[in-house]
Amino acid sequence: SQQGEEDPQALSIQEGENATMNCSYKTSINNLQWYRQNSGRGLVHLILIRSNEREKHSGRLRVTLDTSKKSSSLLITASRAADTASYFCATARMDSSYKLIFGSGTRLLVRP
């Protein structure tokens, strides 16, 4: 990965459970973004959190950011089978806002 690691690499849960994915990065950032990707398809933007924010919510998504630990987490509550996808975090670095660097992704499987 160009930026860091996502943890876990794969996650399998039952529909209705919560899913938590973590992302670590290496450099100081301007913002961190989470994306979702269905197999072989385009990346869909989920949520952006800026470096001066600690938590953000969007529907069933909750994102936290800890700049001291250089880490972020994405929580999907009450998961659905349709949430099955790969989830990536991407960081925009402080020295350049014009380069989004992706982590290695978490493959989420939500079993019906």
Partner 1 sequence: AAGVIQSPRHLIKEKRETATLKCYPIPRHDTVYWYQQGPGQDPQFLISFYEKMQSDKGSIPDRFSAQQFSDYHSELNMSSLELGDSALYFCASSLPGDKAFFGQGTRLTVV
Quick check: 67 binds partner 1 (CB under 8 A)? no
Residue 112 interacts with partner 1 (CB under 8 A): yes or no: no
Residue 88 makes contact with partner 1 by CB under 8 A: yes
78 part of the interface to partner 1, by CB under 8 A? no
9 binding partner 1? (CB under 8 A): no
Assign 3-class secondary structure to the chain: CCCCCEECCEEEEECCCCEEEEEECCCCEEEEEEEEECCCCCEEEEEEEECCCCEEEECCEEEEEECCCCEEEEEECCCCHHHCEEEEEEEEECCCCCCEEECCCEEEEEEC
Contacting residues toward partner 1, per CB under 8 A: 1-2, 30-31, 33, 35, 40-45, 48, 88, 90, 92, 96-105
